[in-house]
DNA sequence: CTAATCCCGACTATTTTTGTAGGCAATTGA
DNA sequence: TCAATTGCCTACAAAAATAGTCGGGATTAG
């Protein structure tokens, strides 16, 4: 029941993007460098984020990634769901339950998933980004990147 | 962000216990058999549940496990927390955050943990047990045991 | 004393997560 | 058109976490 690096890296990468929206697309290398993420690993994660419509990319010279929407309209739950395979603690094979619509257990875990997502989607990338600039937290398991490497930019 | 077998097994084992409270303690073997859990693995899990005060055990001939409290007063979140190491998706090293009390990220994940626990602790073992008897769900990843092996008993 | 039973620690196997490598595809600009 | 840059994709390898096994010790009823 823990957030893996994929999720943390996803959030951190998007924080980097959110903090420099105006400078045109950022390359994988730049993002990885600023957030302290292994470049090729981040690549895989960016692929997921792209497929989920959170970032857009352009290839070739001067290409890179940018947010697909304003950071005000991207929510943390979306990022986590995109980067991790899912947020659901239990994947109940609903079709195998004869009456999953009235199964308390099924119901319980659905509610758990919902409540997690509701909390996570209650915060926008923009809000987290603003706070991150005030608060260069880098100890422990916090998912804030090493903000000293990130220049301040638009939010 | 998923519930592991430890958690599922913990719940299922306690469901078995809850369903036969009056028959005296049940042996590991019995519980494992009824819930379809490898005996020695369950032993480890029961150890955790015991240390967290959810079950009590007696050794020797005619020993076994029983619930430490009525099943009405045992909640699913407690079981999951005891069986898994924790429910927290992120273990932020709060002491390393210079101002973790006003760190949005820290805050966000605390709220996630809280909301999960609130949901999980909103259901008692007794309630789940009653439903489980009505609903022998056994497909997929549902954490209900194979109820056909469990004789009906008190709840 | 002996059999049943829980307790405990060490070990192994399996799965998941994390990370690496390398080649292909697209774009830009000379 | 060609070369450099950059994202895209698949396969592989390493590390960590989870799942499960084993064997011996401690406790208790009869």
> Is B103 inside any structural domain?
no
Q: What angle do CA B131, B135, B136 make, to 5 degrees?
A: 125
Q: Which residue is nearest to nucleotide C29 (CA to C1')?
A: A61
Rounded CA–C1' distance between B38 and C27, in angstroms? 57
User: The domain that contains B137 carries what CATH number?
Assistant: 1.10.10.10
β-sheet bridge partners, residue A26: A65
Nearest nucleotide from residue A51 CA, by C1' atom = D8
Decide if pLDDT at A98 tops 80.
no
For residue range B61-110, what is the model confidence (pLDDT) as tens digits? 999 999 999 999 999 999 999 999 888 898 765 545 665 667 899 899 99
Show the domain range for A13. 5-87+124-152
Q: A47 Cβ partners below 8 Å, 6+ apart? A: none
pLDDT of A92 strictly over 80: no
Which bases of strand C have any atom within 7 Å of the beta carbon of a protein residue? 3-10, 17-22, 25-29
CA A23/CA A26 separation, integer angstroms: 8
Which is nearest to B33 in space by CA: B132, B154, B155, B146?
B146
In-domain check, residue A133: yes
Whether B93 maps to a domain, the answer reads no
Residue A99 lies in a domain: no
Q: Is the CB of B61 under 7 A from strand C?
A: yes
Nearest-by-CA chain B residue for A91? B141
Q: H or E stretch including A127?
A: helix A125-134
Percentage above 70 pLDDT, chain A:
87
The answer to whether residue A29 is domain-embedded is yes
Extract the tokens encoding A58.
Answer: 């352009």
What is the pLDDT, as a whole number, of residue B38?
Answer: 98
Q: What's the mean per-residue pLDDT of chain B?
A: 89
For residue B35, is it within any domain? yes
Band (pLDDT 50/70/90 cuts) for residue A99 is low
pTM over 0.75: yes
Mean pLDDT over each residue of chain A, to the nearest integer: 89
The total number of structural domains that make up chain A: 1
> Is A128 inside any structural domain?
yes
- Closest residue, by C-alpha, to the C1' of C17: A4
> Would you say residue B107 lies in a domain?
no
């Amino acid at each position: 029941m823990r957030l893996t690096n994929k999720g943390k890296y996803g959030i951190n990468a998007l924080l980097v993007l959110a903090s420099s929206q105006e400078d045109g697309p950022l390359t994988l290398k730049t993002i990885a460098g600023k957030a302290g993420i292994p470049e090729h690993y981040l690549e895989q994660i960016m692929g997921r984020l792209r497929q989920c419509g959170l970032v857009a990319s352009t290839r070739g010279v001067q290409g890179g990634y940018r947010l697909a929407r304003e950071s005000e309209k991207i929510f943390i739950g979306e990022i986590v769901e995109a980067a991790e395979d899912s947020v659901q603690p239990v994947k109940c094979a609903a079709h195998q339950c004869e009456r999953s619509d009235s199964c308390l257990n099924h119901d319980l875990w659905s509610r758990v998933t919902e409540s997690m997502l509701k909390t996570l989607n209650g915060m926008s990338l923009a809000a987290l980004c603003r706070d991150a600039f005030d608060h260069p937290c880098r100890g422990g398991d916090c998912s804030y990147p090493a903000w000293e490497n990130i220049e301040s930019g638009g939010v």
